Amino acid sequence: MIRLSDLALPLDHTPEELEAAIIARLKLVPGQLERFTLVRRGNDARKKHAIKLVYVLDVVVRDEDAVLATHAGDSHVRPSPDTSYHFPVRAPDGWEETRPVVIGAGPCGLLAALILAQMGLKPIIIERGKAVRERTKDTWGLWRRSVLEPESNVQFGEGGAGTFSDGKLYSRIKDPRHLSRKVLTEFVKAGAPDDILTEAHPHIGTFRLVTMVMSIRETIEGLGGEYRFGTRVEDFEIDRGADGARRIAGLHLSDGTFLPARHVVLAVGHSARDTFHKLHDAGVFVEAKPFAIGVRIEHPQSWIDKARYGPNAGNRILGAAAYALSHRASNGRTVYSFCMCPGGRVVAATSEEGRVVTNGMSQYSRAEFNANSGLVVDIQPERDYPGGPLAGIAFQRHWESLAYVAGGSNYQAPGQKVADLLAGRPSSGEFGAVVPSYKPGVKLTDLSECLPDYVMESIREALPVFGRQIAGYDHPDVIMTGVETRTSSPVRFTRGSDLQSLNTAGLYPAGEGAGYAGGILSAAVDGIRVAEALAADLLKVSAPAPARSPDGAAAGRRSTAPAVQRARSRSASRPCA
C-alpha cells in the first residue's frame, strides 16, 4: 500500500475528481488503481476565495514497487506505515503480583490504566474526584449557582480537565510509533465519532467526552482494573536503601488506609497543587517550569468565519473556523492564542475557593454563538517567580485571588472591553456587540487589577497586530475575561530515560501535571509510554526504545542522590493542541 500525502483539490470537488487526481499524481495507467482509503483530510485556507481540501490517502495499486520506484525521492509518495499498536509486553496467565497504581483519571491516567489492563496487570486507579456523571452535576453547580465543590469540578474528577474543553485531539508531538492512532482508535471504540480518525484537526466536545470516559472505565473494570473515586493521596511512603536509593513503597489515602505500591503512575493533572507540595515534602525531584497567563477573549463566531474563510464562511465541510496567533512584544515576551474554542463558551474552571480561573469549552457541533481563545503571555521561572520549584503555584494563586475580588467575590469573572483596555481605563455600563458567555457572569472592570503590568502591556501591544490579521479581532466591543492561569503545569517532576522519577524509583510522573504533555492527545500518548515502561520494569523485560517526551523534553538520567530542587528555564509550552 502507498501513502500519498499533500494532495490538494478544490473545496467543491466531486468524488470522481478525487480519484482522477490520485491517478494523475501517481501517474497510473487505466485500471492500475484498485482502491484507496482516507487517512486524513484538512484544508488550506490561505486563499479565502480558493480554499482547498488537502488529503492524505492510502492507495492500493497494481505493481506497487514500480509506482514507488517512479516516485523515488518524493516525500509525498511513500510506503504506508504500520500504524497498528503492538503490546511490547503482557502479563503471563495467572499473574497475581502487586498491582500497579495510577493516580488520576484524566486522559493520561485513563490511557495508562487502559494499556496496563490490556496487558493483564489489573491496575488500581485512584481518583480524588467523582465519577464523570456526578462530577458534571457539580461542575454545573458552579456555573449556575456559584457553588464550588473543591474535589469535584472542571479540574478534578473522572476524565480530567479535558472533559470540559473543546476536546481537541491533535498535537505537534513527535510520534514515530503512531501511539496517537492507538489513542484515537480506543476513543472511537468508546463512542467517539469516527471522523476523529481522519480529520486533520479532530475534536470530540464535552458531551461526547462524558460518555466516552464512562465506556473506557467499563473496559478497564472488565479487564480486572479497579477504580477508587473520592480518594485522595495524602502522603507517599518512600523506602530508602543502604546506598541512599529511594523507591516508592505505598500510598497513604484519604480514607485512612495504606495502599502498598511499588509501581505508581503519577497522572494528577496540572491543578493538583496540594499533591505537588506533598511530593516536594517527600523529596521527589521537582523543578519549576514555564507556563503562560492572560485572559479569555471572545468574538462572534461569524466574525472569525468570515475573516478566515471569506465567501466560504458557513461551508458545512469547513465548519466553524479556528485561528492561531502569535506576537513577539517589544518587552521580549510572546503573546499568543491558546486553546482556541470555535463555537463554544468560556467556563469557570477554578478548583480552589476564593479564586477565579477561566477556560474554554465547545460541544462537538461547535454551534454556539461566540468563539473564544486564551490570549496569554509567557511566564519564566527565573524572571517572574523565583523562589523555588513551587513558586509558580503561589504566583498563579495570587492572580486568581485578585481576579476573584475584581469579579465581586462571588465567582463572577472580571472582564474588560478591548477599547477600554487599549485606552487604559476600566470598563463599565452595558455590553456592546459582543456578549460574554462566562457563567456565573462577568463584571466589567479593569483587568490590570488582576494581571501583572507586563502581561497587560504585552496584550495591549498585540491586539492591534492581531486585528490586522483577523478583521474584528480588536473591535472595541470585544470582551476579555480574566484570568487564564492554568495553561500548563508550573512544575515538572523530572524523570529518567526509564520514565521513572529522577530520584524515586517506581514513581512514573506522566502527563500534563508532571510537565510532560499539553492537551488531551499528548497526555494520552504519554500515558501509553509510561504504562509500557512500568509494565516492562514490573515484568522484568525490555521496554520499547526510549524516545523524547511528547513535549520534546529530553529524559534525564537516574540519580540515587537526595533530591535537589531547582528551577530551569525553558521556552513556555503551548498545550491544548
pLDDT per 10-residue tile (average), the chain, 577 residues? 98 97 97 97 96 98 97 97 96 90 98 98 98 94 96 95 83 92 96 93 85 96 97 98 96 98 97 98 97 98 97 95 97 97 96 97 90 97 94 98 98 98 97 96 98 98 98 98 97 98 98 95 97 96 57 46 38 45
Q: What is the Cα–Cα distance from 353 to 414, expressed in whole angstroms?
A: 16
Q: What is the Cα–Cα distance from 137 to 50, expressed in whole angstroms?
A: 45
Task: Please tell me the predicted confidence (pLDDT) of residue 545.
Answer: 60
Task: Please tell me the predicted confidence (pLDDT) of residue 567.
Answer: 36
With vertex at residue 334, the alpha carbon angle to CA 331 and CA 339, rounded to the nearest 5 degrees, is 150
Distance of CA 547 to the CA centre of its chain: 20
Q: What is the Cα–Cα distance from 499 to 343, expressed in whole angstroms?
A: 38
Task: Please tell me the predicted confidence (pLDDT) of residue 480.
Answer: 98
Spatial strand order in the sheet of 233-240: 233-240, 246-253, 258-260
Q: Is 516 helix (H, G, I), strand (E, B) or coil?
A: coil
C-alpha cell of residue 194 = 469516527
Q: What is the Cα–Cα distance from 79 to 131, expressed in whole angstroms?
A: 44
Residue 147 CB contacts under 8 Å (≥ 6 apart), including other chains:
141
User: Counting beta carbons within 10 angstroms of the beta carbon of residue 424, is it exposed (0 to 12), middle (13 to 18) or buried (19 or more)?
Assistant: exposed
Q: What is the DSSP letter of 409?
A: S
Q: What is the Cα–Cα distance from 565 to 365, expressed in whole angstroms?
A: 45
Judged by phi (left if over 0) then psi (alpha if -120 to 50, else beta), residue 372 lies in beta
Strand 226-229 to 124-127 pairing: parallel
Q: What is the Cα–Cα distance from 309 to 576, expressed in whole angstroms?
A: 23
Return the bridge partners of 26, or none: none
* Block residue for cell numbers 490579521: 469
C-alpha cell of residue 113 = 490504566
Amino acid identity, position 269: G
User: Counting beta carbons within 10 angstroms of the beta carbon of residue 286, is it exposed (0 to 12), middle (13 to 18) or buried (19 or more)?
Assistant: buried
Amino acid identity, position 509: P
Task: Please tell me the predicted confidence (pLDDT) of residue 163.
Answer: 86
**Could you tell me if 413 and 297 are in contact, meaning their C-beta atoms sit under 8 angstroms apart?**
no
- Quick check: bond before 92 cis, omega within 30? no
Q: What is the Cα–Cα distance from 3 to 80, expressed in whole angstroms?
A: 4
With vertex at residue 286, the alpha carbon angle to CA 283 and CA 292, rounded to the nearest 5 degrees, is 150
Task: Please tell me the predicted confidence (pLDDT) of residue 560.
Answer: 41
Q: What is the DSSP letter of 535?
A: H
Q: What is the Cα–Cα distance from 194 to 171, expressed in whole angstroms?
A: 18
Strand 124-127 to 101-103 pairing: parallel
Q: How many other β-carbons are positioned within 10 Å of the β-carbon of residue 348?
A: 24
The H or E element spanning position 375 is: strand 370-379
Round to the nearest angstrom and report the end-to-end CA distance of the chain: 30
Return the bridge partners of 359, or none: 347
Task: Please tell me the predicted confidence (pLDDT) of residue 323.
Answer: 96
Q: Is 212 helix (H, G, I), strand (E, B) or coil?
A: helix
C-alpha cell of residue 27 = 501517474
Q: Which domains can be identified in the chain, with CATH numbers?
A: 2-79 (3.30.70.2700), 101-288+492-567 (3.50.50.60), 291-484 (no CATH)
